Amino acid sequence: MAQLPFYLLLLFTVLYQLPVRADSSATLFTLIRTNYKPEKVLHYDLVFDAKKCVINDGQPFDVYYVDAQTGERLTEFSSNSAQYFSPRLNEAHVTKTSAELNFKALDEVRKLTGIDAKIVGVITRTPSGCEVTAELHDGNSVSQLEEIVLKMKIKFGLPVGVQWVKVKVLNNGQAFERCLTDQCD
């Protein structure tokens, strides 16, 4: 029987001893559309290596629907929703501990409000493990983002813009809602 050359045997040994990445995810914030598929709540998760508390730089975000009634994760994410609400990874500034999130609906919010806000997913190591938060950077202030509520402009049954936006944030430990447009009804 022919023997494998030493370098192939070494390569084989090294490949099978590579550590397997133990990715986990945790919800950064939720997004609710009051008049477009309100029964489906969008969850934006940060994907990270749970052992090292570092963000997965290849796929930092996981976006999916959860049924508002049952709390079950839904498997389908339509192409229309994906186009409007999925993260643009080519624009994501990702480090080991933070990842900036951009998506088309957020562009609409910026255009509507005139606020150059950004959302940054942050991971920190704590004594009990990894803690994940979403920071809403709005000018000079930073708040912890919990939820975005949008009323969409609808044309032919599809979202074509944002009519108003409200955020639920924590600021200095206090929870509050803030309307970012003239009126949130």
Mean pLDDT value across the chain: 84
Grade residue 22 by pLDDT with cuts at 50, 70 and 90: low
Note the pLDDT tens digit of each residue in 1-19. Answer: 444 443 333 333 333 333 4
Whether the CB-CB separation of 164 and 150 falls below 8 Å is answered with yes
Q: Stretch 61-83: mean pLDDT, rounded?
A: 86
Averaged pLDDT, 37-45: 93
Distance CA(36)–CA(32), nearest Å, equals: 9
Write phi, then psi, for 131 (nearest 5 degrees): -115, 130
Classify each residue of 16-38 as buried b or exposed e, where b means 16 or more C-beta atoms within 10 Å of its C-beta.
Answer: eeeeeeeebbbebbbbbbeebbe
User: Pick from 49, 60, 29, 41: which is nearest to 133 by CA?
Assistant: 29
Confidence (pLDDT) at 19: 40
Higher pLDDT, 140 or 48: 48
The Cα–Cα gap between 120 and 136 comes to: 7
Evaluate if pTM is beyond 0.85. Answer: no
14-28, 29-43, 110-124, 165-179 — which is least confidently predicted?
A: 14-28
Q: Which residue has the higher pLDDT, 45 or 6?
A: 45
Q: Is pLDDT of 20 > 60?
A: no
pLDDT, mean of residues 128-136: 95
Residue 112 has a pLDDT of 85
Q: What pLDDT is recorded for position 21?
A: 46
Name the residue with higher pLDDT: 97 or 178.
97
CA nearest to 109, candidates 77, 79, 153: 153
Task: Name residue 75's amino acid.
Answer: T
In this prediction, residue 16 carries a pLDDT of 38
The string of pLDDT tens digits covering residues 91-126 is 778 999 999 998 888 888 888 888 888 899 999 999
**What's the pLDDT at 113?**
84
